[in-house]
Amino acid sequence: MVKTHLIILTLLVPFLALAQGKAPAKPQDTEIYQPVPPVVKPAKEHQAPSDAVVLFDGKNLDAWVSTKDNKPAPWKINKDGSFTVKPGSGNIMTQQKFGDVQLHIEWRSPKKIKGDGQNRGNSGIFLQRKYEVQVLDNNNNDTYVNGQVGSIYKQSVPLAKASVETGEWNAYDIIYRAPEFDSNGKKLKPATITVLHNGILVQDHYEIKGTTEYIGPPKNIAHGKDAIELQDHGSGVSYRNIWVRELN
Ligand code: MG
């Protein structure tokens, strides 16, 4: 009996809508067909998606230069398709400048443990040369939590420590939105960053306060597109499979 009433009611709804002068709602009313998103072929293992800018494919450091003198990056390329920081040689940066990006980068702490705290397997990835996602061998090696692996250095403590064993490969997947400034250099919108460390969310759309500073508070200096920079902190950290997708 209840079922019969329901069927009658369902059949009546369109007529009631018509009686009120409204066309009855259809499923199609809320379907969208334009614009069509682009087709992107996902990355095969240790490769990049079809629309990515490959920053290191295992062969050469052509996409990178030394931050000291803009000359070819002096870090060491390894037979296994990775490269390693050459301690004391200084940071390297991409030749290409970027704004909003999705960045994939894999890194490995030296297997041979040396130093402690911030001096063990320290490196870092600077977005737009200013905002560091910390790279550190934090395994059995505590330090200040806003400087541990996966932190936005001296600004944001990661939500988890998701490192693999020392000497094995880690992956960071970073979604970064650049800050916006007006013509007077006043910040209109902070940069935001989301970081997955080995697939684990460690930074969740964090609003970056300003530049990464070792001493003192972050600074805000207006800037446009800029390079991705890797840090030489005196540790033989290795990198491989680096690619970026420009957003916008
Ligand atoms: Mg660092």
Please give the distance, rounded to the nearest whole angstrom, from the Cα atom of residue 124 to the centre of ligand 1. Answer: 4
Q: How far apart are CA 136 and CA 116, in angstroms?
A: 10
Please give the distance, rounded to the nearest whole angstrom, from the Cα atom of residue 186 to the centre of ligand 1. Answer: 28
Residue pair 150/105 in contact by the 8 Å Cβ criterion: no
Sketch out the chain's domains with CATH numbers: 49-246 (2.60.120.560)
Phi and psi of 31, rounded to 5°?
Answer: -100, 135
Task: Name residues whose C-beta falls within 8 Å of residue 104's C-beta, 6 or more positions apart in sequence.
Answer: 43, 48, 52, 171, 172, 173, 174, 241, 242, 243, 244
Q: How far apart are CA 20 and CA 14, in angstroms?
A: 10
Please give the distance, rounded to the nearest whole angstrom, from the Cα atom of residue 166 to the centre of ligand 1. Answer: 16
Residue 19: the pLDDT is: 61
pLDDT band at 9 (very low <50, low <70, confident <90, very high): low
Please give the distance, rounded to the nearest whole angstrom, from the Cα atom of residue 15 to the centre of ligand 1. Answer: 68
Please give the distance, rounded to the nearest whole angstrom, from the Cα atom of residue 135 to the centre of ligand 1. Answer: 6
Q: How far apart are CA 50 and CA 138, in angstroms?
A: 34
Q: How far apart are CA 54 and CA 137, in angstroms?
A: 26
- Tell me whether the omega of the peptide bond preceding residue 87 falls within 30 degrees of 0, making it cis: no
Please give the distance, rounded to the nearest whole angstrom, from the Cα atom of residue 13 to the centre of ligand 1. Answer: 64
217 pLDDT exceeds 60?
yes
Please give the distance, rounded to the nearest whole angstrom, from the Cα atom of residue 31 to the centre of ligand 1. Answer: 47
Residue 248: the pLDDT is: 82
Which amino acid type is present at position 243? W
Pair of tokens at residue 120: 């063990």
18-41, pLDDT tens digit by residue?
566 788 999 999 999 999 999 999
Please give the distance, rounded to the nearest whole angstrom, from the Cα atom of residue 147 to the centre of ligand 1. Answer: 8
Q: What is the dihedral of CA 95, 97, 101, 104, to 10 degrees?
A: 10
Task: Name residues whose C-beta falls within 8 Å of residue 28's C-beta, 6 or more positions apart in sequence.
Answer: none
Task: Name residues whose C-beta falls within 8 Å of residue 36's C-beta, 6 or more positions apart in sequence.
Answer: none
Average pLDDT of every residue of the chain? 94
Please give the distance, rounded to the nearest whole angstrom, from the Cα atom of residue 232 to the centre of ligand 1. Answer: 8
Q: How far apart are CA 189 and CA 200, in angstroms?
A: 27
Please give the distance, rounded to the nearest whole angstrom, from the Cα atom of residue 214 to the centre of ligand 1. Answer: 10
Residue pair 167/153 in contact by the 8 Å Cβ criterion: no
Q: How far apart are CA 52 and CA 246, in angstroms?
A: 8
102 pLDDT exceeds 80?
yes
Please give the distance, rounded to the nearest whole angstrom, from the Cα atom of residue 38 to the centre of ligand 1. Answer: 36
28-85, pLDDT tens digit by residue?
999 999 999 999 999 998 899 999 999 999 999 999 999 999 999 999 999 999 999 9
Q: How far apart are CA 97 and CA 170, in angstroms?
A: 25
237 pLDDT exceeds 60?
yes
Burial of 142 (0-12, 13-18, 19+ CB in 10 A): exposed
